[in-house]
Structure 1
Amino acid sequence: MQNHLIEPSKVDEIISKVHLDLPSEKVNFIESLGRTLAEDIYADRDFPPFDRVAMDGIGIHHSAIENNNNLFAIEGVQPAGSSQLTLKDNGNCIEVMTGAILPKGADVVIPYEWTERKGEKMCVLDFKHAQTFTNVHRKGVDVKKGEVLIKKGTVITSAEIGIITTVGKEEVIVKTLPKVAVIATGDELVGVDQIPADYQIRMSNCYSIQSRLKEEGISSKIYHIVDDKDALKEKIKGLFTSYDIFVFSGGVSKGKFDYLPQVFEELGVVKQFHGVKQRPGKPFWFGITKNNQPIFALPGNPVSTYLCANRYLLPWLRQELNKEINQGKAILDSNYSFSKPLTYFLQVKSYYNKLGELCVSPTTGGGSGDLANLSNADAFVELPSDKNSFKKGDKLPIWFYKK
């Protein structure tokens, strides 16, 4: 338990130790896109399942090459999707189409480009590249029946969908997605459809978080609880039975009506830290319930909420679901200074220069309450607390929130 500000790297360390114990479920293959596979996918037969013709042309027997025979009577045509024909005479040929099964008795495919049609016969113009099973995709050369094609834990993309359907898996077992509650606190908040009084604002943070989660394929439900300690305690306690993850916005600073830390303590939630050495988002609170449910209690200012969700919540969730974390480094395209001894998350607009390098331009707004400026930027760069001046050309960690 922490009683002082901790570095963002320490936040990562603490949160990474929390793991969701998600069950599995069976879904139709078309609904599995973006989900995490909870079973191995096996080949139901050899790949390819037959000697497959790789180019349009003619199928012949190799003995014709050895006998310097270059004129072949056409016995028939072997299209893709038709049952296997048989080459009756080694001196003849069968026309074969790409994807077709190689005719029985044929073991060389000569592309049309190497031939010339002469009535009902085919003349081969060039044998120099022709060998046994030339232009034939041999049965089982890619994968043998029973081999693992996709390993458990793989995130399913369009490529995996193609494999899943190829092996006839109409349903697949995937990891269940977590149930997430997004909870806004504060008497000053009113609904999107309401006209706020001069001292009120419409709820927005919870919808930004919900939308961001939806971009990751995760559904959530929004709640609003007023700044009343008893109401908070009763409502939160009830929600503990229905969700895997809780994301709060507001109620964790030092104000007289910021009841959440006290409410969490009374509900038996184990605090992991309260306060991060960063700006925006310094009052960030994180804890774990008795049932190992993580609680991300984020500061209420819009940019603070959004930064903490993108910097900590989303990367952790992606890690839990075996997804790649969208984080790298970018080049600062101008000098920038930040004098306070805190890690600063600078809003930036990213682009690629003529050398193909990822660069960023600072787009500072009006502080942690300037929600509108988030639309002008597409990422945050992380300026570490051990420096206060950053020069053009510096490479810094970047956290994207727009794709």
Structure 2
Amino acid sequence: MDSAEGDMMSENSMLTFDEALAVIHRSVSTSEPVHVALEKALGTVAAEGIHSSVDLPPADSSAMDGYAFAYMGQRKGDNLPVTGVSMAGEPFGGVVQKDQAVKIMTGGIVPQGCDAVIPFEEVEESRDSICLKADAAFGTNIRFRGEEVGKGEILVQAGTLLDSREIGMVAAGAVPQVKVIQRPRVALLTTGTELTSLGEPLSPGRIVNSNHYFLSARLRELGCDVLPLGTVPDDMKRLKSAFIEGLEADAIISTGGVSVGDRDLVKNSLSELGFDLGFWRVLMRPGKPVLFGMLEGKLVFGLPGNPAACGAAFELFVVPALRRLAGMEAGKEAVIRVAVTQPVRSRRGRDSFIWGVLKRRENSFLFTPKQRQGSGQHRSMAGANALLRVPPDLGDLSGGWEGDAFPLRQRLLGGVL
């Protein structure tokens, strides 16, 4: 992170949402590319164009089960003697004469001397010959060498997410290794003496560590690898130890402990480790107590402990950073213009982000806010697929108001709707 650009903020400074997002854009760069075996490339991004090492198909081959022959104007009723068979992987070895045919299966190499294939359904077969039941035509039912991709042609463009279909294409091009930007590996740490795991007793004052289950699932949903660091109580020594362990990953996310209470120890723990502060606290709701910076060159996000605030900060700040790590150009977050379907409660003074449901209506989009918007309520997020942004100079909104919404991504790369 470059402090010379003025990104490093004093402890008492609060940035606007746009300013905080700009810090992330300037601070995060794409991970270094690596070479991996193709079978390990799922979910990575091509760091360079991937070129075929062979013609596709590698030879003229049959698109159907039938008979191959040299086209000479044959018509319905003509007879041709059958001299052999060409199977996929077992080609016919001889040369087919002009008045002969070879039985051929789908994928079989078209024998030398042949330039047409007629399917089984259009011939009448006898022991050693066929009689055409339809007129023949030149080049029918043949996949010609290189017609899909020629040797050296590009199979996958740089910046493409390698999913199952792209991997199949690259494999067909006989490319065993590819240069990629790997999936981000994210260390996940939740803090708070009050937290328990599912299945443990809920004694007075204890709550289930729901942020861990939410963020772990969300990161995997986006295509990240997760390094779980567990739950750490409000203890400086143990927090520092957990952050050091998290340096094995590309980014560290912690939840809770980033506000100004007596047990909000995350910021001080990081400071003692040499943390380079990008920003702490942002003029937004929910999600004001959010922290971002670098520790030994690794991204660190401190998210609020309240579930809906944690979720909003994750979607608005962490997801863009992870997309950049994964190879997406900075500043390419999707924003959709929407009309709200009903009144929205909002307070002036900060950007407000409202959880809700985005739906397409012909050439426009409608946004319906969730009924409960409390920062501590999971129900704010449940079923939502977007966050509506309400500017700080506006208060309550009436139905029909038009503004910007951030759709929630299902994957780090690719489309949003």
TM-score by length of 2: 0.80
* Preserved CA contact (<8 Å) 2:195 2:209: yes
- CA distance in structure 2 between the aligned counterparts of 1:110 and 1:175, rounded to whole angstroms: 47
Q: Please tell me the residue identity of whatever aligns with 1:94.
A: V
Give the Å deviation of 1:108. Answer: 2.8
User: What residue number does 2:327 align with?
Assistant: 322
Query: Identity of counterpart residues, as a percentage?
Result: 27
Equivalent residue letter for 1:375: A
Query: Contact (CA 8 Å) 1:332, 1:393: kept in 2 or not?
Result: yes
Where does 1:71-90 land on structure 2 (aligned, <5 Å)?
71-76=78-83, 77-84=85-92, 86=94, 88-90=96-98
Q: Aligned pair 1:54/2:97, yes or no?
A: no
Distance 1:331 1:102 in 2: 60
1:197 alignment partner, one of 189, 203, 220: 203
- Name 1:309's counterpart in structure 2: 314
Counterpart selection for 1:293 from 292, 298, 314? 298
Q: State the shift of 1:117 in Å.
A: 2.9
Please say if residues 65 and 104 of structure 2, whose CA atoms lie closer than 8 Å, have aligned partners that are also in contact. Answer: yes
Task: Look up the match of 2:256.
Answer: 250
| 1:392 and 2:400 correspond | yes
State the secondary structure of the residue aligned to 1:89. Answer: coil
Relative to structure 2, which stretch is displaced further, 236-245 or 280-289?
A: 236-245
Aligned pair 1:44/2:67, yes or no?
A: no
TM-score normalised by L of structure 1: 0.83
Q: Does 1:122 align with 2:131?
A: yes
CA offsets 1:185-232 (integer angstroms, 9 cap, x no match): 233333434323333323221232122112223212133333344554
Letter in 1 for 2:343: N
Identify if the C-alpha distance between structure 1 residues 89 and 4 changes in structure 2 by more than 3 Å, giving closer, same or farther.
Answer: same
* Counterpart position of 2:34: 24
Q: Is the 8 A contact 1:191 1:202 kept in 2?
A: yes
Distance between the aligned counterparts of 1:171 and 1:68, measured in 2?
Answer: 49
Q: SS at 1:336's partner residue? A: coil
Letter of the aligned partner of 2:311 in structure 1? Answer: Y
Please state how far the C-alpha of 1:48 moved relative to its aligned partner.
1.0
Aligned counterpart, 1:108: 116
Q: CA separation in 2, counterparts of 1:253 and 1:335?
A: 31
Give 1:162's aligned residue.
168
Which residue number in structure 2 is paired with residue 222 of structure 1?
A: 229
Q: 1:112 offset after TM fit, Å? A: 5.7
Looking at structure 1, the residues matched to 409 and 375 of structure 2 have their Cα atoms a distance apart, in angstroms, of 16
State the 1:170 CA deviation: 5.3
Structure 1 residues 358 and 302, CA, compared in 2 at 3 Å: closer, same or farther? same
CA contact (8 A) 2:94 2:111 kept: yes
Cα separation, 1, equivalents of 2:308 and 2:324: 23
CA–CA distance in 2 between the matches of 1:88 and 1:184?
73
Offset at residue 106 of structure 1 (A)? 1.2
- Aligned CA distance change for structure 1 residues 244 and 112 (closer, same or farther; 3 Å): closer
Alpha-carbon RMSD across the aligned residues, in angstroms, is 3.3
SS class of match (1:198): coil
Where does structure 2 lack aligned partners over 5 or more consecutive residues? 1-7, 412-417
Structure 2 counterpart of 1:334? 342
Letter in 1 for 2:131: M
Please tell me the residue identity of whatever aligns with 2:323: R
Deviations 1:254-275 (A, max 9, x none): 2233233333334322211122
Equivalent position amino acid for 1:308 in 2? A
Report the count of equivalent residues: 393
Query: 5+ unaligned residues in a row in structure 1: which ranges?
Result: none
What is the one-letter code of the residue matched to 2:230?
Y
- State how far apart, in whole Å, the 2-side matches of 1:223 and 1:52 are: 56
